[in-house]
Amino acid sequence: MPPPDQPASPVFVNLGPRSYLVQVGRGLLKTLGEEVNSKLPDRTSCAVITDSTVGPLYAETVLQSLREAGKKPHLITVPAGEASKSLAKSEWVLSEMVTAGLDRKSFVVALGGGVIGDLAGFCAAVYQRGIPYVQVPTTVLSQVDSSVGGKTGVNLPNAKNMVGCFHQPVHVIADLDTLGSLPAREWNEGFAEIIKHACIRDASMLQAIEDVAAGKGDIVDLIRRNIAIKAAVVEADEHETLGIRALLNFGHTLGHAIEAAAGYGRLLHGEAISLGLRAAAWLSTQVGDLTSAEYERILALLKLYDLPLRLPDDLDTEELMRITRTDKKFENGKIRFVLLRKIGDAYVSKDVLEGHLKQALEELRK
Ligand SMILES: NC(=O)c1ccc[n+]([C@@H]2O[C@H](COP(=O)([O-])OP(=O)(O)OC[C@H]3O[C@@H](n4cnc5c(N)ncnc54)[C@H](O)[C@@H]3O)[C@@H](O)[C@H]2O)c1
Ligand SMILES: O=C(O)C(=O)C[C@@H](O)[C@H](O)[C@H](O)COP(=O)(O)O
Ligand SMILES: [Zn+2]
């Protein structure tokens, strides 16, 4: 672990010609222009895409840093929240990029949480058939998960992330100073994905998660560890064709259905995933070998971060099942569902049937 004034070493995401670095540290926004310039020296005009909460806090620092590095940035701001991750908003952003005069030699900077990363990444992927983009994640969730791996896209009203493509960023800058302005709810939701990473890959991380909750852990180290887990999984199966990257979907089959059924923005992504994690962990005790003690440990961690464990009463099981059937892991009417053998060891199971999913939803009502 480096001393507090030393930046953590960057994480290298090794994807051959699409490889990139994830910088993790403090005070990185100020030097963002130089960093971007070293990755994209021959590109000048760019769109800095942000939201109405993050823009007023951090856009000026980013714009100034880009200008000092000789770039010509145009700021594009969408309303904060999940509702902006839509086809309609992507059309608006793309039109703004045209109005700003961006061409095939331009690039995009995604400044914000996972909503901005997914939306801006998608716009970069499709603008004039693809221009590069840099991720500048400003939430715990986006730093440990969404800014790495190149999944970009938007929601449909009844299906999460249903439209999108893989488009890797050319660089990721995770400045932990930006987390200082996160409200408690947005801070906590990021830990759903951190707990997910521990569940699927690294049981030894549970202690670090507890330590951070108790105010004695090293958050830079924890975020860097999570980025390294995400990078390793993505490197092993970039396009989710081998059943390895699918493990990052632990808790997401029902979690995504709950997020969409509740109405985008009512539950934050991490909150919906907390419910999905509970359901998937419970199913791991029913269909797989997870012990009830391990299940209780996962619940205790989610509780530590005030994450929801009970389904909102107004969400109907049949509606949730209908949305669940649109999950990208449903093939020929059969679900490939991610379960745990034990904490730290996940696998894709074909043994989970619709009846099991309904039972798990009932469990979430207790
Ligand atoms: N592409 C992927 O691999 C991937 C992975 C996980 C999640 N996601 C997606 O990410 C999205 C969730 O991301 P999120 O949780 O970051 O949500 P978000 O981007 O909506 O951010 C949450 C809220 O925090 C605000 N905010 C962001 N940074 C802030 C800061 N530094 N200070 C104060 N407020 C700040 C935002 O304005 C927003 O209101 C979902 O759409 C989810 O599907 C994608
Ligand atoms: O990067 C991945 O792969 C993930 O599954 C990470 C998830 O946390 C994330 O929510 C992702 O957007 C889900 O993707 P989807 O393919 O299930 O829509
Ligand atoms: Zn997720």
* Residue 249 annotated in active site: yes
Catalytic: which of 43, 71, 269, 278? 269
Q: Closest ligand to 138 CA?
A: 1
Residues 18 and 110 placed together within one structural domain of the fold = yes
Q: Which residues pair with 20 in a beta bridge?
A: 13
DSSP secondary structure, 285-330, as one string = HHTS---HHHHHHHHHHHHHTT---S--TT--HHHHHHHHTTSTTE
Binding-site residues for NAD(+) sit at 114-118, 138-139, 151, 160
Residues 215 and 297 placed together within one structural domain of the fold = yes
Residues 215 and 149 placed together within one structural domain of the fold = no
Which structural domain range is residue 38 located in?
8-181
Local structure of 338: helix, strand or coil: strand
Local structure of 234: helix, strand or coil: helix
156 is a domain residue: yes
**Mean pLDDT across the chain, nearest whole number?**
96
Residues 54 and 145 placed together within one structural domain of the fold = yes
pLDDT in tens, the chain (366 residues): 444 455 679 999 999 999 999 999 999 999 999 999 999 999 999 999 999 999 999 999 999 999 999 999 999 999 999 999 999 999 999 999 999 999 999 999 999 999 999 999 999 999 999 999 999 999 999 999 999 999 999 999 989 999 999 999 999 999 999 999 999 999 999 999 999 999 999 999 999 999 999 999 899 999 999 999 999 999 999 999 999 999 999 999 999 999 999 999 999 999 999 999 999 999 999 999 999 999 999 999 999 999 999 999 999 999 999 999 988 888 877 899 999 999 999 999 999 999 999 999 999 999
1 is a domain residue: no
Binding-site residues for Zn(2+) sit at 193, 252, 269
Q: Is the CB of 81 under 6 A from ligand 1?
A: yes
Residues 77 and 195 placed together within one structural domain of the fold = no
